[in-house]
Each structure stands twice: as structure tokens, then as C-alpha cells.
Structure 1
Amino acid sequence: MMSSNWFKDAVVYQIYPRSFQDSNNDGIGDLNGIKQRLPYLKKLGVDVLWLNPIYRSPDVDNGYDIADYEAIHPDFGTMDDFEQLLSATHENQMKLLMDLVVNHTSDQHRWFQESKKSQDNPYADYYIWRDPVDGHEPNNWGASFNGSAWTYVPERGQYYLHLFAPEQPDLNWENPEVRQQVYNIMRFWLDKGIDGFRMDVINKISKVPGLPNGPITEGEVYGDGSRFTDNGPRLNEFLQEMNREVLSHYDIMTVGEMPGATPEMARKYSNLDGSELNMIFQFEHVSLAGNPDSRLGKWNDRPVKLSQLKHSLSRWQEGLDGSGWNSLYWNNHDQPRTVSRFATDDPGYRVKAAKMLGTTLHFLQGTPYIYQGEELGMTNVHYTKLEQYEDIESLNAYDEYVKKEKIVKPQTMLKYLSHMSRDNARTPMQWDETQNAGFSEVEPWFALNPNYQEINAKKELLDQDSVFYYYQKLVELRHQCPAIRYGSYQLLDPKDEQVFAYLREYQGTTLLVINNFTAETIERDYDQGKGKLLLDNYPKGELSRLRPYESRVYIL
């Protein structure tokens, strides 16, 4: 059994390959582009690179619909390109994490193409098939991307389950042959030398037997099946089997994406005996400001209430201390940009706000994840027209709520998309102020954020007071200071709606972390005068006065 805990000391940088760097001028980011930018990532100081899916895919959901797990998508390069990137990453003393998407495949995957032919072929039970009920779907579940979670296939006379798009059929994890096929895929990549996996919606692989109808909100067409698909009855069993058969034989890190998980559940999934995963991605803190109209779910433009954010993050800090391990993130490929979401992207305050948010997160206990461009303070793109969007979730939501159900006006829904769409995170990386922001010499696959001439890596690397160098310092401090990595956590003033302040303590070292989440200058006294200032995102100021979006860290 491997017992290395290097993941606890690491900082991870997430790369969305399609939008990171184009090396062959086809407008799409690729593996050689990532290799080209390794010196930049080395300069930032990160330890691990996590790549979103690079497998062969029809790209219905930007690579999360995989047609061949052991082949590279031609848009990104070749297997030789991947192996060169992996080697170069290791030569630069960084590790590489792959995205593992095994709750579902593409409907173009060979397994599904065979499975749908009949009810008695070798792949017939690789997916979740059910007979019609009274001529209709087997149950009332809705899919995450809107519409029914079931699609009918005449050849079999049955429906198949897809919790996401119809082109993403769910695998049947109850079938031991499916599990062994998945483990073989994992070994294929681990034997190449990769350093672990981020596992996409891994807590949906065990469904409640019988697949009961879900509750229906008034006005909704479909039921919510999440209570029967998330954190199901055999999930721990499946993860333990995966660990015994594969994970425990390699010195790697694993993180499981688990919407709907609680700290109590996470203590099992990320337990310290190493029998399942190292950590999970939970969604609680990024789901706080849902729409009051429950039919609209995440679609809103409301600010997050600070007391709720503090309560959520503190619940996880306290809940896993000494019994599990946290992942720490503000944004990723599925979430809007952090400065736009949790602070402000107003040009007057954006830099201070980005640094403040970085401080808040990176001084918590857990493994921090930096999403590409976060270290530059990149912002939401603020689209105003539907045709500017590309993401299937956003387009389906507009179609469902504006055109079909007519429960929200077009301009209101566009405001919601501007605030919450996944496309905000997927605009190309902003490298410099030249045409196409140094991402490509041709028009990119997706439009650039127009502010790239003001916000870009070249400009920030020339400015010692930039967001980039502040993040570099955050990474450096985490590497140097055990109290940041391992210290206990204590929230101060839970009901304060302006300041997020907390203590970290480890082996006699106490850190006081103070973050002003407002554009106001405010007075706060935490006895900080007794300590030594370790970090501040402003020049030295008055001891008890916090300037707009100011962050300070003291060693007491």
C-alpha cells in the first residue's frame, strides 16, 4: 500500500486545454501549447497540473463525452505529444493529473454502439437500460442539462439513462465487467507515469436500486433524481474496490468531484487510512446564491452573502480536520470567474479583490487549486447576446426557461448567464495584448474576453505588484509554512458581513488571517498589533483600519 501524502503539500493548477495555448494555429489549445507554457507554470511555483479531458470525443460537452479513453483527441495532438508533455512536466519537477470521466461515456463509444444493438449482446448490460412504463420513460427524472434523463432506442425497445446530455449514457457500475474495464483504463494511464486522477461526478456511479421517481417542484416537468443517484448505496464499496485494485499500487493523488456531498460523507471518501480517495470537490460554497425560484436552480445574479460563505467553508474546515482532507477552490471550468462571483471585477478594485480572495482560500487547510487565469485576476466575460454562448448547459437552460416554460424574460436570463455561465471560465487564456491575446495567430475557437489588453500575463509579469506575483507568494508561503498546510482552524466573528477573519494554529505557531470583502474602509481590531505582519495586499497602513478588499496575515 502506498502511503505518501505529498498531495497535502501541493498546489494544483487546472488547465482547460482547449483554451490554454494554441501551438499549431488552428484556433484550439493543444498539448504542445501546454508544454510551451511550462516555464510560466514553473515560475508561478505550482506542483501539479490537472488537465481537463484530452481524450477522443465528439465534444458535445467539451470533452466530457468520451468516445475512446486510450486515444488523444486530434484537436489536442497525438499520444506522442502527450508523452512528451508528461516527460517535460516531470523534468520541471511538476506532476500531471488526468481527468477520469467514468460515470458516463459518449454515445459514440464502442461499448454503447454495441450495447444499443440488442438486449443479448456482450455489451448489453454495460449501460442502464429499462423497459418503458405505460409507453413512457421508466421514471420521471430530469437530466442535468434539462429535459428527460431517458432516451428511447428502437433497436432494443428500451430507454437508456443519461444524467447529463442524451449523448452521455451512464455506465452500469453494478456490472463487474464495467468496473474492470474502468480499472484497465486507469492502469493504462498510470503505467504511462501520470500522477493521479480528478474523477468527474464520481459520486453518481451508484444508483439506488429500482430507480424510484424523484420529487417534483411545483411547475416543473421532471422530478429530481439526485437523492437516488448521488452518494448511492454502493459508492464506498466501489471506491474501496478501485483503491484495492488500482490506486493503492501507485504513488498518486486522487480527487473526486462529488456534488451534494456533506462533510460527514467526505470523511469516508477522503479518510486518512487511504482506503478510498485523497480528497473530494464539494459544491456547497459555490451553490450558496441559488435563485429564490427553485425551478431556476443555479441561474441568478445575486451576490453571495458573506456570513453564509464563512459558515460553509468553516463547516468543511472543521468537519475534515484530523479525519479527512479538503480541496480548496474558488472557480474551475464549470464555475464563473472568482473576482466576478465573490468580490468585484470593477477595474478600480479588481487587483485588490483578486489578491484578497487568493489569501482567503490559500491560508485554509487543504490542497489549493488555481484555475487558469485566476492568478491574473481574469474576469467574467459579461456577454449580452445568446449567440455569444457556446456551453450546452447555458444554451439548454435558456431554451428551457425562456422559450419553453416562459418563466423568465430573455433579458433577465441573459443577466443570469452573464453571472453564472460556465462559458465565463472557458474564454482563451490571456497571455499578452497582441491580437488574439497570444493564444493563437488565428481566430480562437471561442471569443476572447475583450479586456485581455488590460489583463494579461505579459503585463503582470512586468509588474511586481501584480496578481500573478501575489499568487506566487501565496504558493511559496504554503510550501514554507507548515501551519498553513496542517494547522487547525478557528473562525472569528461568524456573523460579520464585511470581514472574513480566522486563526490557524500548528505546533505553537498561530496565524491571523483578515480579509475585507467590501469596497469600504472599515475598522476592525483583532489584537493584530501583537503579531508580525506576514502578508498584505496594500502598502503598510493603519493597524486597525482595513481598506477596500484588503487582506492581511499576521504571525501572532
Structure 2
Amino acid sequence: MAAKVKMPSDAPPKTTWWRDAIIYQIWPKSFYSANGGSTGDINGIISKLDYIKSLGANTVWLSPHYASPNIDEGYDISDYESINPDYGTVEDAERLIRECHQRGLRIIFDLVINHTSDQHKWFQESRSSKDNPKRDWYIWRPAKYDEQGNRQPPNNWSSCFSQSAWTWDEKTQEYYLHLFAIEQPDLNWSNDECRHTIYKSAMEFWLERGVNGFRVDTVNMYSKPMDFPDAPIQDKTKFIQNASSLFCNGPRMHEYLTEMGEILDRYDAMTVGELPCTPETADVLRYVSLSSSELSMVFQFDIVDLDRSPSDLFVDVGFNLNIFKDITNKWQTFIDGNDGWTTVFLENHDQGRSISRYADDSPKNRVASAKMLATYLATLSGTPFIYQGQELGMSNVPSSWQANEYKDLNTINYLAEKREGGAGEKELAKMLATGINKLARDNARTPVQWTSGPNAGFTKEGVQPWMRINDNFKQINAEDQLQKEDSVLAYYKRILALRKEHSDLFTHGRFLLCPTQEEGIFAFIKRDRRSESKLALVVLNFSDKVVNFTVPQEAQLVKLTLAIETHETSSTDELEPFGAKVFLSV
């Protein structure tokens, strides 16, 4: 179906609708198969839109679903204007957009434009010869040679997947840059023709079809220092070194994003950027200031990285509530006194499940933990993101799973590197049962647990899903929770409804971290920015003990009433293990 071309005169006025969005992320491969295949599909997503709307979400984020060899689960795109045939067709995607809009839902797609697949026609042309017109659409450099005449990459950069960021091409006798997998060559954004073709093919093609914006992958990596200096030596045992300080936030990033912003403004479209290696709030504000028209908001990774070792992202260093509070306070107060905006999230397709990392996924405390984390998510300022299955309290995979059950390239490469380094099977098994089991991206990518029946209702009986379903699907599934008023799913609906009812407090309010009380307690106040006397008190128990709390002095000057709680208790100043209460001023 031909898309209606939107002329400039038809463009809607620029708004900030995305500040009141509640966004539900779908990882299409693992969401739901309506066609009875081994993977999810677009028709399956359409069939679950009423479920998503009933949860309280008003925006859908669809992770990569484009044509791809799937080396990196769709983040290696071979055609921005085509759909992975496992998921459907362009016509199916257009119908998904229409079906969302008919229900009052907006929809955003993933925008992966730092790199393409090596199967993309642009790269196929680029690598065909040094004088091809698209040669400069990617980043090619000649080899260096050491004193013995051995060929070396152009610099010592490591890719994000623990290998050299450069791969030698025999045909044209040069290296090409890839910050991720070998099969994901980086585009050369300094080439004007390349950059504007990206805008047309990856952005405008879908904006014309009604997409309401994008989650932007690796949004601060497009501008590289084109002299490609060596990275500082941090690990003397290796040639390749972490170079993120060089390839993130490069010299032309804001120029490029301003160009993108001009396009997005014409469609009143939002963006949420993945912004790694940018810890300073002043630097972040440059990206998300409303007046700059670059990005609507960004993801900061402090919270989802707090239990990872900085030197080895598969080593679990444990959850620290005080650090968790400090990070929350940093990004909640970040928006005070300026025109920036922030995000709230605990899970996505790249993270282990939050209930297994920050609370307790044991049968005893699983339901309470999921509700408590939902309370945290729904009462903070900014735009909240809910990842598929999070609303059910889905957890990490069992620690007993073997290496062959893990499908993610990052996990596979990590284990291969450890084997090459001499790790034995017992040591690898320990890695699997501890750090990998807690932190691997695979934990979030198991199929959604819809029923307690065959294949958890993800696909029809007798079909082998692309990835093993979590063993606990009989205890954790949507069909069961839809029938229970005290389920995790039912609580999500109530807490999100409360957020919408009091958006001046929870979405737009001013955050105040309360002094530490009993061990395990996280308490904060939300104030209406227009009326200091209108407030909410949120009290969370991150411990496995019953604890008492004291109403903070800042909330004692108003009369409070209990608005929602995870457990029904007779005492207003007591919290059950992993419990939560929200009070509102009367």
C-alpha cells in the first residue's frame, strides 16, 4: 500500500506528548507467534494490542524487526525498508501502525544507524572496490605494520564485543571499522550523501507510514575522530583496548542530531537515545534540552550497570541499595530547573530481569518483589519503560541452564574468549551459574509466558521455539494472572492508573530523597511543582524482613491517606518483606 506523502503544510505542531507516555517494549522474536512459527511475529503483536492497552501503556516500542541475517538479533540490518520475513511484511508493519493508532496507542520503532549488516547493499557496493561510489559510505583504512613487517589494524580499538574493531578485507586490502560484530560495519557519517540517505531510508520511510518516533541505538557513536588515534592502554596484557572515550560523544554528534531533529519535528515524533559513557548531567542536557531539538530523552545505564564489575560486565558485584538511591536521585533531580527530560526503566532486551537482580525472585517473595519494583517505576518522574513480561514478574533463567541454551552473541563470544584464555569446564560452569545467569542479555529474551500450556502459549504445540522457555512458565503466566485480583499484572494496572490520575505528582513532580531510616528502606517524596502542599510519599522495602518506617518530616505537615500498597496490613507504618506503600496528601 502506498503511503500518503505528508507535505510540510500537513505537519502537526510540535508537542511534548512523549512526556506523558507509558512505553511498553516488545522484543518481537520472543513476544507472540500468531502464525505458529518458532519466533514471534507482527500478527502476534497485533493480536496482543488490547492486552497492552489494558495494562495502561499508551505507546509501543518495537525492537528491530527489519530484514537482517540476525547475527546480532536484528541489530545487523540489511534493508531498512524491508521486514524480517520471520516476522511478516512491510504491509504487516503498516497494519500494526494503523491498529495501534485505532486504539489510541502510539508506536515507535528501533533506529539502528551507527552500522548496517555486511549484507546491506550499501556495504556490498562499498567493499566491491576502492573506487566504488559508496566506498566512503563506510570507514576503510590501510593496515599498519610493526617493526617485523607484521600487518596490524589501523589502531588498537576493541569492539564492544571483545575483539578488534577492525577486520581485514582481502579483496580490497584494507580494514573496515566495526564497533560491534564483524558483520556490523560502521557507517561513515562524515559523508554527506551517506548521512542524508540514512535519514531518508531509515527514518522518513517509516515516519511517512505513521511511526511516532524511534528508540535510537548507540546514539552518541556516529561521530568518530577521523584520525583514529590509539586508545589509552588500560590492560597491558592485550593489544586491543577499550576506546569508548574516543568513539562516544564525538566532535560532530550534536550537528548530526540537530539534522535528525529537524526531520522529527516535522512529524511531531519522539526519540529516546541509548547514551552510554556520558555520566555528566551537563553533557546529557545538551542532548535532551527541549530547545535544542536533538533528542526527546535518553537512557542512562547507571542503574542497570550498578551490579556489574566495571572491568568485566559478566561479573556480578551485587546490589547496593545506597548506590541505587543515589543514582535515582541523580537522574530525578537532573530535570529540575531546565527544559530536559528523563527516563525510568529497570529492564530491556539487553538486561537481566530486575526482579532477579534487585529484589528476590524466590517463590516466597517473587510476587511482592515484582509489585514493589512496579511501585518504584510508576511513581518516578520522567517517561517509564516497561519491558515485555516485566508486568508478569518474569525472572532470569534457572542457574542450571547449560551454555548451549544461551543464544546471545555477546554471551557466546564471552565464553569463547574465556575458553581461549584457558578456562576449564568447571570454571565456565561457575561463570554460567553466577554472573552470566544474573547479567546476560539472554535472560530478557526468553519467550513471553502467556499460558501454562504447551510452549507457554508463545506458539502452537509441537513447534520448537527459537529459544528455550523459562522453566517457571506454569507458575508465571498472563492467563493465570488475568484471573487474579492480587496478581503482579493486576497490580501493574492499578499503579499505572494511579500514575495517570496524579500525573502532576508522579510524571512531572519534583523528587525529594528522604533520609535513610531502617535498613532496606527507600523512601522519597514527590511534590506537585505548582503546589508544594500537594505531595505523595513512596516507601519501598528492599529487604526480606518486616520493617517499620517513620513518616519523613517533610511529609508530616500534611494529612496523608494510603493510596496503594503491595500488601494489605493493619499498620500504616509497617512494610512486609519487599513491600511498598504510596500515600497521598489529602
Partner of 1:136: 152
CA distance in 1, matches of 2:196, 2:488: 45
Amino acid at match of 1:273: S
> Aligned match of 1:539 in 559, 568, 577?
568
Going from structure 1 to structure 2, the CA distance change for 1:364 and 1:272 (only over 3 Å counts) comes to same
Q: CA deviation at 1:155?
A: 1.9
SS in 2 for 1:240: helix
Matched, 1:302 2:324: no
Q: Which runs of 5+ in 2 are unaligned?
A: 1-11, 146-150
Matched, 1:493 2:515: yes
Matched, 1:473 2:473: no
> Aligned match of 1:461 in 477, 482, 491?
482
Amino acid at match of 1:167: E
CA distance in 1, matches of 2:300, 2:517: 23
SS in 1 for 2:25: strand
Matched, 1:366 2:385: no
Asked if the contact 1:3/1:274 (under 8 Å) is kept, the reply is: no
Partner of 1:548: 577
Partner of 1:397: 414
SS in 1 for 2:179: coil
> Aligned match of 1:502 in 504, 524, 532?
524
> Aligned match of 2:91 in 67, 70, 80?
80
SS in 2 for 1:525: coil
Q: CA deviation at 1:402?
A: 3.6
CA distance in 1, matches of 2:116, 2:308: 29
SS in 2 for 1:549: coil
SS in 2 for 1:489: strand
Q: CA deviation at 1:321?
A: 2.6
Amino acid at match of 1:487: G
> Aligned match of 2:355 in 339, 353, 364?
339
> Aligned match of 1:25 in 31, 36, 51?
36
Q: CA deviation at 1:237?
A: 1.1
> Aligned match of 2:250 in 208, 211, 232?
232
Matched, 1:515 2:540: yes
Asked if the contact 1:337/1:424 (under 8 Å) is kept, the reply is: yes
Amino acid at match of 2:548: E
Q: CA deviation at 1:412?
A: 2.4
SS in 1 for 2:469: coil
> Aligned match of 2:217 in 184, 200, 203?
200
Partner of 1:445: 466
CA distance in 2, matches of 1:328, 1:219: 38
SS in 2 for 1:514: strand
TM-score, normalised on structure 1? 0.96
Going from structure 1 to structure 2, the CA distance change for 1:214 and 1:541 (only over 3 Å counts) comes to farther
Asked if the contact 1:307/1:497 (under 8 Å) is kept, the reply is: no
Runs (4+) of structure 1 exceeding 3 A deviation are: 218-221, 405-408, 494-497, 527-530
CA distance in 1, matches of 2:217, 2:164: 21
Q: CA deviation at 1:102?
A: 0.1
Matched, 1:243 2:243: no
Residue correspondence of structure 1 range 149-160 to structure 2 within 5 A: 149-160=165-176
Amino acid at match of 1:209: M
Matched, 1:349 2:365: yes
Q: CA deviation at 1:335?
A: 0.3
Matched, 1:435 2:454: yes
SS in 2 for 1:120: coil
Asked if the contact 2:518/2:547 (under 8 Å) is kept, the reply is: no
Q: CA deviation at 1:403?
A: 3.2
Amino acid at match of 2:567: Y
Asked if the contact 1:142/1:149 (under 8 Å) is kept, the reply is: yes
CA distance in 1, matches of 2:84, 2:337: 41
TM-score, normalised on structure 2? 0.92
Partner of 1:105: 116
SS in 2 for 1:259: coil
CA distance in 2, matches of 1:212, 1:535: 55
Q: CA deviation at 1:117?
A: 1.5
Amino acid at match of 2:208: D
CA distance in 2, matches of 1:12, 1:87: 17
Partner of 2:8: none
Partner of 1:287: 305
Partner of 2:443: 424
SS in 2 for 1:340: helix
Q: CA deviation at 1:279?
A: 0.2
CA distance in 2, matches of 1:373, 1:515: 22
Q: CA deviation at 1:322?
A: 3.8
Asked if the contact 1:311/1:494 (under 8 Å) is kept, the reply is: no
CA distance in 2, matches of 1:238, 1:209: 15
Q: CA deviation at 1:544?
A: 2.2
Amino acid at match of 1:72: I
CA distance in 2, matches of 1:276, 1:460: 41
CA deviation map 1:143-185 (0-9, x unaligned): 1111111100122211011010000001111111121011102
Going from structure 1 to structure 2, the CA distance change for 1:322 and 1:76 (only over 3 Å counts) comes to farther
CA distance in 2, matches of 1:343, 1:47: 27
SS in 2 for 1:247: helix
SS in 1 for 2:386: strand
Residue correspondence of structure 1 range 181-200 to structure 2 within 5 A: 181-185=197-201, 186-200=203-217
Amino acid at match of 1:128: I
Partner of 2:3: none
Asked if the contact 1:47/1:94 (under 8 Å) is kept, the reply is: yes
CA deviation map 1:51-74 (0-9, x unaligned): 011100000000000000000110
Partner of 2:5: none
SS in 1 for 2:290: coil
Asked if the contact 1:402/1:409 (under 8 Å) is kept, the reply is: no
Q: CA deviation at 1:337?
A: 0.6
Asked if the contact 1:382/1:419 (under 8 Å) is kept, the reply is: no
CA deviation map 1:12-39 (0-9, x unaligned): 0000001011111121100000011111
Identity among equivalent pairs (%): 41
CA deviation map 1:458-506 (0-9, x unaligned): 0000001111111111221222112111111111125975111111111
Q: CA deviation at 1:209?
A: 3.2
CA distance in 1, matches of 2:304, 2:336: 21
Matched, 1:114 2:125: yes
Asked if the contact 1:306/1:497 (under 8 Å) is kept, the reply is: no
> Aligned match of 2:51 in 19, 22, 40?
40
Asked if the contact 2:370/2:393 (under 8 Å) is kept, the reply is: yes
SS in 1 for 2:438: helix
Partner of 2:6: none
Asked if the contact 1:402/1:413 (under 8 Å) is kept, the reply is: no
SS in 2 for 1:348: coil
Asked if the contact 2:72/2:409 (under 8 Å) is kept, the reply is: yes
CA distance in 2, matches of 1:139, 1:100: 28
CA distance in 2, matches of 1:48, 1:405: 47
Amino acid at match of 2:33: D
Partner of 2:80: 69
